[in-house]
Amino acid sequence: MKTLPSWMLCLCLALAVPAQAQRRPPPPGTSAPSAPGERTITPQSSPPGADESNQGSRRTPTCEEARRNARYGIYFDKVEIEKLVQTVADATCRTFILPENVRGKISIIGPENGRVEVDADAFYSAFLASLDANGLAAYQYGRFMKIVDKRSAKQNPIPTIVEDGQPYTTNEQMITKLFRIRNVEVEPLRGVLQQLVSKDGDTIPYPPDTIIVNDVGSNIHRLERLIDQLDTRAASDELRVIQVQYASAQDVATTVQRLFEAKGARPGQRPGTFTQGVPPAGQPGGEVIAQPASGGQEASAGPVTLSQIIPDERTNKLIIVASPAAFERIQDIVTQIDIPSGTGGRINVYYLENANAEELASTLQSLAQGTANRPRSPMPNMPQGAPRPAGTTQAAELFSGEVKISADKGTNSLVIVASQTDYKNIVQVIQQLDTPRRQVFVEAVIMEVNLDRNAEFGVNLHSGFALQTDRGAAPGLIGTNNGGQGLPPSLSLANLASFGGFLAGLQGPVIPALEKLGLDIPAFGVVLHAMQQSSDVNVLSTPHILTSDNEEAEITVGQNVPFQSGFSPSSLGSQVGGAG
């Protein structure tokens, strides 16, 4: 047996649903909990007797099935809000909580007096729009929808969107969305958004980078698109630094500033601002600077705004506060003008080999006097034979511009600030003056001479013997000392190395009789000592001097000895008076 397809069955069910939901008594046990002063409106079931009439033929569709397939004609002319909410509850299968203070009539006029039908989602969007037009709002309250005054909706748990990309409804339902600002300042952007929110919506700034917006979903979707366009890098000035390699940072800053003067701006624009794609006006006869392409480049989009440019002379860098498009243009200009000069810079250092830097700098600086900032003008006609001012013509013709010369004593070098043409002329003069010169070295010795001499000669000797007595032999010792004090003794030769001069010594064996007594005395000993001392010369000083040819030099060797130059008689009188 053949059966109908499932989609044909759904179509038949859809045709069986009435074109407009009707109000029916709620079934027992389905009412939602409500607070005092609130009314709960729930979707109604099928009309009475429908089950008996349809029993045995086909199943009655549920509310969700009817919602998916039903079509509704919208035409409500000054309908009580409670009746309209009941119709929406039947059409959308939602349960609404309606406070007692929410009263009034609402009109929703559809095209062709409601003959044009829409689905349940479009019907619900029209219902939310009608609530918004009458200062009301609906929000999710658990499993129910609660209708409140729109001004107090933001203080209720309305849907809150805190993550980027999190989905939300774009109808007239009140929601709260958190926007994180990445590039621009929060307060200026918040001032723009506050003028675009709906009547009962508001914006809350949370520095440094957050704005909270309470508004209907459709308007928040609109504000989100505007924020995406306003919160861009091209809309905010940035601080960047450019290192200038060859040129002067001050000169480059002046050049860039002139390009961004008010002459290149359109009427009504502030100085330093250009419209994207309109390059600054070039100077007549000057080089045309290539500008970055304005189309197809995201970094170049936006206004070309230069807020400030500061040259740092110590590091030779440019500190720039400008929009990304302006910075890109400035960087391109700096790249083209900051190139190595074929003739070098104005500051040069010349290391001397023979001449003195301070003396040579004084000589060269005297030549450069009078040339600084002097205009080149022809000399007036002077009578033949009249003397010209000395040094005026020579100085003016030697250098073409300002010349400054300084000496560095530590490195014996010259620091020259001049153009390359003048520097070449100065180098030629320096090479002729920086030549080796003959030098004279004089060294003297100042000594004190004495004729005193000391000579010492001495001999020490001793000998032992045995003296016969009645009790037996008794040991004895006899010796001499013919050298004065400081002569080494002959009894021991162990310390001879500690005495200076010529030394010689001889000792005999130890006397046996004294050895028993614990004494080690040799039987004989001889020591010869000869020494001579002289202190004839005393060097007081060795002065020396090194001088060059054609220079006067002088050596001064002496000692400052203080002496009394006079006395005051008044002090003597005071002493005499004190004694009396």
Task: Check which CATH number belongs to the domain holding 322 and give it.
Answer: 3.30.1370.120
Same-domain check for residues 120 and 81: yes
Q: Where do we find the tokens 């009475």? A: 48
Q: Which of 21, 17, 1, 28 is nearest to 58 (CA)?
A: 17
Number of folded domains in the chain? 5
460 domain-assigned? yes
pLDDT at 423: 85
Last residue of a domain, one of 292, 313, 337: 337
Ranges of beta strands (E only) in 159-261 are 160-161, 174-180, 202-206, 210-216, 238-243
Same-domain check for residues 470 and 506: yes
- pTM assigned to the model: 0.40
Verify cis geometry, omega within 30 degrees of 0, for the bond prior to 375.
Answer: no
Displacement of CA 146 from its chain's centroid (Å)? 55
> Alpha-carbon distance 182 to 126, whole Å?
36
pLDDT at 152: 84
> Alpha-carbon distance 556 to 446, whole Å?
12
pLDDT at 35: 55
221 domain-assigned? yes
Handedness of CA 262, 263, 264, 266 (dihedral sign): positive
580 domain-assigned? no
Same-domain check for residues 149 and 27: yes
Residue range of the domain that includes 432? 343-372+396-436
Same-domain check for residues 66 and 143: yes
Copy the structure tokens of residue 247.
């040129």
Same-domain check for residues 131 and 14: yes
Same-domain check for residues 168 and 38: no
**R_g over Cα of the chain:** 59
Same-domain check for residues 133 and 206: no
Copy the structure tokens of residue 464.
């032992």
Same-domain check for residues 226 and 186: yes
Same-domain check for residues 14 and 143: yes
> b/e map of 4-30 (b: 16 or more CB within 10 Å)?
eeeeeeeeebeeebeebbeeeebeeee
Same-domain check for residues 13 and 130: yes
> Alpha-carbon distance 234 to 306, whole Å?
12
Same-domain check for residues 141 and 33: yes
206 domain-assigned? yes
Same-domain check for residues 118 and 20: yes
| Residues in Cβ contact with 284 at an 8 Å cutoff, skipping those fewer than 6 apart | none
Contact call for residues 227 and 209 (beta carbons, < 8 A) = no
453 domain-assigned? yes
> Alpha-carbon distance 353 to 247, whole Å?
31
Last residue of a domain, one of 171, 197, 231: 231
pLDDT tens for the chain, 580 residues long, are 344 343 333 333 333 333 343 333 444 434 444 555 566 666 665 444 444 444 444 556 667 776 777 788 888 888 888 888 888 888 888 889 888 888 888 888 877 776 778 888 888 888 888 888 888 888 888 888 888 888 888 888 888 999 888 888 888 888 999 999 988 889 989 999 999 998 889 999 998 899 999 998 889 999 999 999 888 765 567 889 999 887 778 889 999 998 887 444 444 444 444 444 333 333 333 333 333 333 334 445 566 788 889 999 878 899 998 888 889 999 999 999 888 766 556 788 999 998 889 989 998 888 887 554 444 443 434 444 444 444 444 444 567 678 889 999 889 999 998 877 788 889 999 999 998 888 888 888 888 877 777 777 777 777 777 677 777 767 777 777 655 555 566 666 666 666 666 667 777 777 776 666 667 777 777 777 777 776 677 788 888 888 888 888 888 877 777 877 776 666 555 655 555 4
10 domain-assigned? yes
Task: Check which CATH number belongs to the domain holding 143 and give it.
Answer: 3.55.50.30
27 domain-assigned? yes
Contact call for residues 171 and 218 (beta carbons, < 8 A) = yes
384 domain-assigned? no
